[in-house]
Structure 1
Amino acid sequence: MSYKDGAAVYSTNCSKLLTSAPVLKATGDQTYCPGPDIKIVETFLIEHDLSETGTTAGYIQISSGYSNGDKLSLSNPALYPSISTTWDSTAGKLTLSSITGGEILYSDLEAAIKDIVFSNTLATASGTRTFSITIGQANYLPSTGHYYLFVPSVGITWSAAKIAAEVSTYYGLKGYLATILSADESKLVGEQASGTGWIGGSDAETEGVWKWVTGPEAGTIFWNGNANGSTPNFAFWNTGEPNNQGDEDYAHITQPGVGIRGSWNDLSNTGSTVAGDNYQPKGYVVEYGGMPGETPLEIAASTKITIPVATLAANPNPICDFGSFTLSATATTSTSIRWFDAATGGNLLGTGTTYTTPIINTTTVYYVDAGCEANRKSVTAVINTTPNTPIAEKNTYSNCGPGTVTIRATSNIGNINWFTTETGGSSIFSGSTFTTPTISSNKTYYAEASNNGCINPDRTPINIIIYTPPVVTDENLTLCQFQNLTLDAGIAGMNYLWSNGATTQTITVNSGETYTVKVTSPDPENCSSTKTIVVEEHKIPQIDRIVVEETRAIVYPVKAEDYFEYSVDGISFQDSFVFYDVPGGLQTAYAREKNGCGQVTKQFVVLVFPPFFTPNNDTFNDVWEVTGMENYPQAQVTIFDRYGKLIAQLSRAKMSWDGTLNQIPLPASDYWYALKIDDTMPILKGHFTLKR
């Protein structure tokens, strides 16, 4: 395989078939301001063998610094009717060829290249553009002096690509799979040259240790480890690569649209075998130049332009009220730095890397460029005004008892900072409204005004006075039914507001409920406390009935209350209204309210039936009689023996039985009785024993 470029033809085994290659010489190291076109060369010459008059094409490429908006074009195409121009915006490459498809004369090519211009209308354009001019098809990179050619070959393996590259030549330079050592080289090979293919990196020798294994850089390690490995030399892996999986031991430039444009991934020797797949190899990149013993070619020349840009140092620190600033900037070229008072046009204030402003008292914007007005940048000299002394909403605040207090102060400009000391100390809060923490004693805070670092040292004091609210004690009082009760707020000399609307220290009430009184101290304290008085109305007790069961008496009130107490002797009172062992006879029951609100009584009779008697004239239990019967005038007691024979009758006239019948003593035995009190009450029956 051989390539014919310019005036010479070379075969794959480097045998020279015709004359030597031409020599291209160019000069041009210019500055450029975006907007108008600029010629890329100042001088240009093609030296060639007189027997050779032309070549197939000329190539002018933005080989480094290529950026958005850049373009190369022939400025006067009408002067060159035999030349056709083609601009490849992806590669940043302009091709000059014969309009007929044949050779283009060196003389025409030389004249046309002198009329090639660069343009970029973007106001933000910056940096350096390097132009490579060659008559060979391969891309020339001035920073390396090497040539790069992408060879399409769909499905080619890495090992086959390596062999094919090494047997190819370019104007006598031996080829090899490209090795990429810099960002410029990576951009040209990976982005501008459409190099979706194999390059000369591999970790087949040691997994994870990537080396260049082709060309003069063979053996150079450029990556050590997995996707987070180290880079002892330049590397441009795609995100997540290399993954070092299986036999993915060979470096490949990713296809456009896959990950980071122009970056690398690792593939197996064959890559994907699926037609059209993103990881199917599409070819390989051959690099020419740098092999031992080779004489550098001169079939390429280069020039450059630099778009001068001034880079400002950090914005100057603001100052307070008035003063002067020293502004600093550097330039990407040796051009003079210029200082202005306007973004465009304006007055030239000074030149050089620094500029000292006059004394100013307002914020002022200055502008700097390195010769290109379009790239002029602004820098602001900030003047901040020192604020006036803060104005307090109130000089003194008060609070009733411990608590938080919201205090306020304003400034004509800037912000308010709060302190606990008149001078020094640290700010405890920032803002015009400050709510203090809980305070329990008098305290002074200080408001300080600041505006972006400009501080007025005169702090405004704001006093807080803590007053003690009136001390009140809640009460629970008893109100007797049908009586009045006087309630007292408990503290004299205050302002009062009762829940019933009264405003006096005392009020008189006649009903049970909860009363409140707001007790407020006079100005300036004006502190309030609320006293609560629970008034419970106690009724006077009433006895509904008394139930007597032998010697047990139950006193039933009309309505029981827990503040009632009861007695059957008027001396001993109890909460329970059940009494035991009540003596026989006429008794009195008492019910009273415990706090002295009232008392009622009711009489009742306890009838006592002795269980036995001993009529032996010893003065003890000689007769049998019903105690209490004397209180019932109509009462009658009928006594029977065990056979039902009437033995005796007792009444109010005859209250007792002596154990005889017709004055004859009856035998010891059990006898029965029936007591009829009156026609409204049931007959009471029982028995007792006569003992001899």
Structure 2
Amino acid sequence: MKTYTTFSLLLFLFFSLISTQILFGQLGFCGGNSGDPIFTETFGTGTDRGPALPTGITSYFYTTGVPADGDYTISSNTNFYDWHNTTDHTPGDTNGKSFIVNAHFTAGEFYRRTVSGLCENTSYEFSSWLINLQSPNGFCENGGLPINVRFQIWDSTDTTLLASGDTGNVMSQATPVWEQYGLVFRTVPGQTSVILKMINNGNGGCGNDLGIDDIVFKSCGDFISVRNDTNESSITSCEDLGAISTTLTATPDFSIFNTHAYQWQESNDAINWTDIVGATNPTYTTPLINTTTYFRAKVSEDAINISNNLCNVVSETFSLHIIPIPIAPVSNGDISNCQGEASGLSVSVPDGVSVNWYDAPIGGNLIQPNSTFFQTETAGNYYAEAISELGACISPTRTLVTAIFHPLPVLNNESLTFCEDENINLSADITNANYLWSTGETTLNISANTPGTYSVVVTNTNGCSNEKTITLEQIDRPILKSIRSDGPSIIIQTENIGDFEYALNFGAYQTSPIFDAVLGGSYIITIRERNFCGEINEPYIHLVIPKFFTPNGDGFYDTFRPEGIPNNIPYSLSIYDRYGTLILNSRDSLFGWDGFFNGRKLPASDYWYTIIVENNMYKGHFSLKR
């Protein structure tokens, strides 16, 4: 059993505490401003695999095929196993590649890279993007093993750990997601290079498959804001207001640097920067500016490093935008539409310019903001004004665009009637136009003889169309069903119903089909439709046959005598008793029966008759009353 002195135990606890704090440090990013990247690894582009990483960077085996556990490849896709098939992370590249790793069965280091050219006593930010390639719907149980990577920054002797942090378990996700991780570290005096290590904290197996891309090192310094003397972070001014100048102040937050050296820079594109000679103070007053210009300050802790971009950082950018006055919008043409149709007026402007619509060339009312398109159903002149999205600079003039609305053909729907078996003329009403009837005809007028609904689309010379509807109803001609006599009345019945009227012997018409108190005789019965849609003239012999007679000698109804049999028309009349015995028969003579048979009075009773006139038979009965 070993024994420790008190001093040895204290040393052990001290270094254990330091080691624990370092090994279990937190990931994080620079809280201030960063400089331009001093090291970048994107793993290249192309559709072919590889090339393999240089010797010493990884102990994993390189393959151009499917990477097994402990293998890696460099590829522009991840179409392996049941993994997500996704692209690399680097923005804007084509067929960009990434570092594809299938974790070894034994946890441990899988990437090591020396980064040189650093400045001593300077803070830096390391960052990298990682992705879990395993799909949760794949073959692996519970979505597979998570990925878990430790990043370490060591000094160039590989004996002093400068920073360390773990990603923790990164589980598989339904869609592939690249995530960024970072570390902040500081070089010590005399140190100009460091070693980056990536360690797999988990063993390989089903899962723990990852992609790595965009490894970047940047200097890290204070957060440095830039404001002008009115506390603005940018200025936007219209060109017609003339050149402007402002005084800028760079203000560090002292989160990293204890002292500060400055070098102001300017740019016309915010990409390429030029040092401003003599501008080395925290404040800088610009000259008069009449074109868009950007300003920033390079800042380092020591003046000797101000010109070394590996050691300095850059402030926020102050933009001084001088916005050109936009030209008036370009009209896409006046619009000529039909009444009731919305007109879409439009103009064209360059990118970065919007359009406001007015009802007057100067002043007037704003009727449509922020659109190159204006829709209206009202004829008139409309005016489009260009306005820059930056600075709200207004075009010196407005562009006239006119909307014209042509009237539609004026059509009136109709409801018409026509007589059965006749044609009726249907008209679209308007000449000098194009026509399309629901029947397929294309003429101004068409002929119809079938009831129903007809329509016609009329298109005038301006190309404007309207529709007319005609409802057509047929009027049927009268069809005679029967004419019969009921005592002195004549009753007419038709097969159909209509607006019919009736007349006897071409006399006055009546709407009732019953004629009362008509003397017996020959008549012409006329039935006509009141709209002149058909007429029937039917000859009829009206026989008025008494319903009873009283042969008592008082001079009233003493004989049974039918009325109305024409003298010149053959006829016969027979009378029977209730037992069918023929009592008398008369032919072609003026007949009247007095109630006697073979010289004796017949008793009061009902008797039957049969009358034949021109092959028409009339039957009935009457009463003899005593």
Shorter chain as denominator, the TM-score bin is 0.5 to 0.7
Q: Name the counterpart of 2:435.
A: 497
Cα 1:76/1:643, change in 2 over 3 Å:
closer
2:261 to 295, 315, 336: 336
Cα distance in 1, alignment partners of residues 396 and 194 from structure 2: 53
Task: Tell whether 2:141 aligns with 1:36.
Answer: no
What's 2:385 paired with?
448
Query: Where does the alignment leave 5 or more consecutive residues of structure 1 unmatched?
Result: 10-31, 41-67, 78-84, 92-114, 123-304
Question: Cα gap change, 1:458/1:582 in structure 2, threshold over 3 Å: closer, same or farther?
Answer: farther
Pick from 596, 600, 613 the counterpart of residue 536 of structure 2: 600
What is the CA–CA distance in structure 2 between the aligned matches of 1:528 and 1:582, rounded to whole Å? 62
Q: Does 1:312 align with 2:226?
A: yes
> Structure 2: how far apart are the matches of 1:5 and 1:423?
89
| Equivalence for 1:624 | 560
Specify whether residues 489 and 637 from structure 1 end up closer, same or farther in structure 2 by C-alpha distance, changes over 3 A only: same
Structure 1 SS opposite 2:575: strand
2:610 touches 2:618 (CA, 8 Å); kept in 1? yes
Letter in 2 for 1:659: G
Correspondent of 1:391 among 330, 338, 349:
330
- 408, 431, 434: which one pairs with 2:346? 408
Equivalent positions of 1:574-589 (< 5 A) are 574=511, 585-589=521-525
Specify which of 460, 467, 471 is matched with residue 410 of structure 2: 471
Aligned equivalents of 2:342, 2:272: Cα separation in 1: 57
Q: CA deviation at 1:449?
A: 0.8
Equivalence map 1:420-569=2 (5 Å): 420-421=359-360, 422-423=362-363, 425-426=365-366, 428-436=368-376, 438-439=377-378, 442-452=379-389, 453-480=392-419, 485-490=424-429, 495=433, 497=435, 499=437, 507=445, 509=447, 511-512=449-450, 516=455, 518=457, 527-536=464-473, 538=475, 540-543=477-480, 546=483, 553-557=491-495, 560=496, 563=498, 565-567=500-502, 569=504
Offset at 1:408?
1.5
Q: Distance in 2 between matches of 1:653 and 1:534?
A: 60
Deviation string 1:450-505 (CA, Å, 9 cap, x unpaired) is 1212211412233334554443322233344565655555457x53536365555x
Q: What SS is found at the alignment partner of 1:454?
A: coil
3-state DSSP class of the match of 1:653?
coil
CA contact (8 A) 1:496 1:519 kept: yes
Distance between the aligned counterparts of 2:273 and 2:442, measured in 1? Answer: 84
CA 1:336–1:89 in 2, change beyond 3 Å: closer, same or farther? closer
RMSD (Å) for aligned C-alpha atoms: 4.9
- Summarize deviations over 1:541-567 as a string: whole Å, max 9, x none: 45465566776745344xx3x555253
Contact persistence 1:69–1:121 (CA under 8 A):
no
Partner Cα separation in structure 1 for residue 417 and residue 434 of structure 2: 22
* 3-state SS of paired residue (1:430): coil
Q: Hey, what's the Cα distance between the residues in 1 that align with 2:259 and 2:519?
A: 134
**Aligned match for 1:369, one of 290, 298, 301:** 298
Determine if contact 1:639/1:671 at 8 Å carries over to the other structure: no
Letter in 2 for 1:637: S
Conserved? CA contact 1:309–1:369, under 8 Å: no
Larger radius of gyration: 1
Find the partner of 1:610 among 542, 546, 552: 546
Residues 235-254 of structure 1: pairs in structure 2 closer than 5 A: none
- Retained in 2: the 8 A contact 1:482–1:510? no
Counterpart contact for 2:152–2:162, Cα < 8 Å: no
3-state DSSP of counterpart to 1:351: coil
1:37-63 CA deviation, whole Å, 9 max, x = no partner?
Answer: 5369xxxxxxxxxxxxxxxxxxxxxxx
Q: Is the 8 A contact 2:426 2:446 kept in 1?
A: yes
Structure 1 residues 102-134: Cα deviation after superposition (integer angstroms, max 9, x where no partner): xxxxxxxxxxxxx87678979xxxxxxxxxxxx
Partner of 1:297: none
Structure 1 residue 448: Cα displacement: 0.7
Structure 1 position 410, deviation (Å): 1.9
Gap change, CA 1:405 and 1:619, over 3 Å in 2 = farther
Kept in 2, the 8 Å contact 1:498–1:515? The answer is no
The aligned counterpart of 1:382 is: 321
Report the TM-score when normalising by structure 1.
0.49
The question of 1:347 aligning with 2:275 is answered yes
| Aligned equivalents of 1:466, 1:573: Cα separation in 2 | 57
Q: Which residue of 2 aligns with 1:235?
A: none
- Identity across the alignment (%): 25
Alpha-carbon distance in structure 1 between the residues aligned to 2:454 and 2:430: 16
Q: Is the partner of 1:317 in helix, strand or coil?
A: strand
Q: 2 CA distance for matches of 1:328 and 1:591?
A: 112
Deviations 1:568-594 (A, max 9, x none): 6364454x8788888755444433233
Code of the aligned partner of 2:526: Y
Instruction: Tell me the SS of whatever aligns to 2:537.
Output: strand
Q: Which amino acid in 1 is paired with 2:610?
A: L
| Residue 526 of structure 2 corresponds to residue 590 of structure 1 | yes
Instruction: Identify if the C-alpha distance between structure 1 residues 552 and 484 changes in structure 2 by more than 3 Å, giving closer, same or farther.
Output: closer
Which amino acid in structure 1 is aligned with residue 502 of structure 2?
A: S
Shift of 1:622: 2.5
1:690 maps to 625
Q: Is the 8 A contact 2:380 2:402 kept in 1?
A: yes
User: CA 1:582–1:474 in structure 2 vs 1: closer, same or farther (change >3 Å)?
Assistant: farther
Shift of 1:644: 6.7
Q: Distance in 2 between matches of 1:564 and 1:531?
A: 29
Deviations 1:17-75 (A, max 9, x none): xxxxxxxxxxxxxxx999635369xxxxxxxxxxxxxxxxxxxxxxxxxxx999685x8
Cα 1:88/1:674, change in 2 over 3 Å: same
